[in-house]
Amino acid sequence: MAKRRSIPALTLSALVALGGSSLAMAHGDVTPQGVNTDGLPTLGQEWPDTNPYRDTDAFERAVEIGSSAYNQNCARCHGLEAISGGIAPDLRLLAPDFDGDDWYKYRVINGAVRDGKVYMPKMADYLSQEALWAIKSYLDVRHDEME
């Protein structure tokens, strides 16, 4: 798995090394886009272990918000509609359960930085917890659609 990912990651770091905005030119916006989470229950400071919108009345709204938030903030690396074009992992593979949520949470909070190179920014520095769980809700639906 690590081997399969190392080539795209190198390509990405080469693009970033060219001056940050080259990715933006290749894939869309470089600045994380604010997400309007009106209509979603607010979550406070603490991150729950699993998607707090799953199995609630708010799920449908979360998916709707998450779909556009994903396409504005994640698609340029992870692919339109979460179908990976090879630059970064296919996020449809994340399971809609504790394991998938836990890994998702870890990555959006910590990003992916190795040897000082930023492969993925710390998205939680730019987007609210509500927006990020909305994106996970959208990914849960994309996961189910894949099966």
CA 41 to CA 52: how far, in whole Å? 9
Q: Among residue numbers 57 through 96, which ones bind ligand HEC (CB under 6 A)?
A: 73-74, 76-78, 88-89, 91, 94
Phi, psi of 138, deg, nearest 5: -60, -45
Q: Among residue numbers 3 through 32, which ones bind ligand HEC (CB under 6 A)?
A: 5, 9, 12, 23
Q: Among residue numbers 96 through 125, which ones bind ligand HEC (CB under 6 A)?
A: 104, 107-108, 112, 119-120, 123
Residue 51 within binding range of ligand HEC, rule CB under 6 A = no
Q: Return the axis-axis angle of helices 129-146 and 59-73, rounded to nearest 10°.
A: 100
CA 71 to CA 57: how far, in whole Å? 23
CB closer to ligand HEC out of 89 and 96: 89
H or E stretch covering 98: helix 98-110
Q: Give the rounded distance of the alpha carbon of 134 from its chain centre.
A: 10
CB closer to ligand HEC out of 58 and 87: 87
Residues forming contacts to ligand HEC in the complex (CB under 6 A) are 5, 9, 12, 23, 73-74, 76-78, 88-89, 91, 94, 104, 107-108, 112, 119-120, 123, 127, 135
